[in-house]
Amino acid sequence: MDRLYLEGPCTVSGEIDVQGAKNSVLPILAGALLTDQQIVLTNCPDIRDVRATFQILKYLGCSVDYDNGVAVICAAGMNRSEIPDALMREMRSSIMLLGAILGRMGTARLGFPGGCELGPRPIDLHISSLRRLGVTFLEEHGFLDCTAAKLHGADIHLALPSVGATENILLLACVTPGTTRIFNAAKEPEIEDLQNFLNAMGAKITGAGGSTITIEGVEKLHGAEYRIMPDRIVTVSYLAAAAISGGEILVRKACPPHVISVTSLLEESGCEIEMAGEDIRLRRRGPIEAVKQIRTMPYPGFPTDALAPIMAYLTLAQGTSIFYESIFQNRYKHVEELLRMGANIKVEGRVAIVEGVKKLTGASLVATDLRGGMALLIAGIAAEGETEITEVSLVERGYEHMVRNFSSLGVKIREG
């Protein structure tokens, strides 16, 4: 899809099921490389990053079948350990394949990952962590040549709770002899999902969701069937879309505890939220009220991926909201596009000050990254007139069937 057109304002109302989590399925797909037996993944989202990962798995020699949310992968025929630069550049999460390829093949050669340009995301922490397990690295001509000749368990103290580094360690350490402990591990729900998947394959991992994870290496993993957890950022995006429009939505097949840091903010801004089992119901009871301060933090804090969608929502708030981005340097690239719509936002370094305005106006916009693009879609729902969004492929990296899903909720949206 090249572009989207929205005619606003619209009222988002109805019911919608949440897709499987982008940030969970990608490392889990990497984990499928660690066995020569069949892996079956249900609730696997139909998004560009998943399709790009399928291409990499096929290049490595795996068989991949996908239909209606079910992926069947078998790495019995895996015969390569190098990922071409063109495939690596498709997405930043491709670095997740490093630990899994090393665990299966003993060597790996890959370029540096691509994806959204959110500022420096150095892979030094991945390298230093895997080096503790016995991996050697040689960098030349933009490629990493990696060798895992004598792997062993180790204690690894992460300088910061990196989700990617934690996942790469899990993928390699689960098939590495000895005991590995990760200190200051990332606590995100996606880490728990990866642990549960690997344990379903026969791994021995405990502690995910906490700051210390223990991995007892096993000699071999086996096939498994596993359901991907719901996507918490997609959940938040649907809630924000309904909230900005003044509608009422029931988001089903979600995981309410994963999004409390955001739903509490939505309640503070004037929304009524009910949670029951896997359902979240939102309705807005009056004008949007500004939120004094939003600071992105590692889980269980406010997620950096939710910043742009929630900022779009608060552009129409009464009063001033202040955002502080503590994770990425370039998370505000969408702001310039929101300004075209009449938003009043000032950015200085990692701080963004959002002065609420009475209305937004449709405009021709460019999606700057995955979450920023969704922010533009949310703003377009409430804007007066037509909004055109180009570079929509960036948004398709994490959101499936956007036209169909938002149309079902009452949004006047079409692809160009």
Binding residues for UDP-N-acetyl-alpha-D-glucosamine: 92, 121-125, 305, 327
The full length of the chain comes to: 416
Number of H helices, E strands in the chain: 13, 24
Cα separation, 300 vs 259, whole angstroms = 9
Output the CA–CA distances (angstroms, integers) from residue 65 to 68, 69, 80, 84, 88, in the order listed.
10, 10, 19, 22, 21
**Residue 295 in contact with residue 324, Cβ under 8 Å?**
yes
Find where tokens 């619209």 sit. 10
Catalytic residue among 116, 146, 174, 271: 116
Token pair for residue 315? 């552009």
How would you label 186-195 residue by residue, b for 16+ Cβ within 10 Å and e otherwise? Answer: bbbbbbbbbb
Backbone φ, ψ for residue 182 (5° rounding): -105, 120
Pairing of strands 364-366, 385-390: parallel
116 is catalytic: yes
Residue 279, CA distances (Å) to 17, 57, 255, 282 in order: 9, 34, 8, 10
**Residues comprising the binding site?**
22-23, 92, 121-125, 305, 327
Q: How far, CA to CA in Å, does 157 sit from each of 22, 124, 126, 226?
A: 27, 14, 12, 30
Detail the residues annotated as belonging to a binding site for phosphoenolpyruvate: 22-23
Please identify every residue annotated as catalytic.
116
